[in-house]
Amino acid sequence: MIEYAATAEVKQGLTRAHEARAQVLRDALSWIFARRRRSALGTRASRWA
């Protein structure tokens, strides 16, 4: 990590941005795995039927 002098406002902004990115990542992973689980457990009709 690069060391630098930052004001309290900048540090708060970086913290908020980090939290927002983490939330987006959690939401994306939840969506991906929920979708995969649903398709794996759902009843699927054979395309040959």
Q: For the chain (length 49 residues), average pLDDT per consecutive 10?
A: 79 95 96 70 61
Which pLDDT value is given to residue 18? 97
Q: In the chain, where does DSSP find H-type helix?
A: 8-41
Positive or negative torsion for Cα 2, 3, 6, 10: positive
Whole-prediction pTM value?
0.56
Listed in sequence order, the residues at least 6 apart from 6 whose beta carbon sits closer than 8 Å to its beta carbon are 14
Please give the Cα distance from 3 to 5 (Å, whole number). 7
Which pLDDT value is given to residue 47? 66
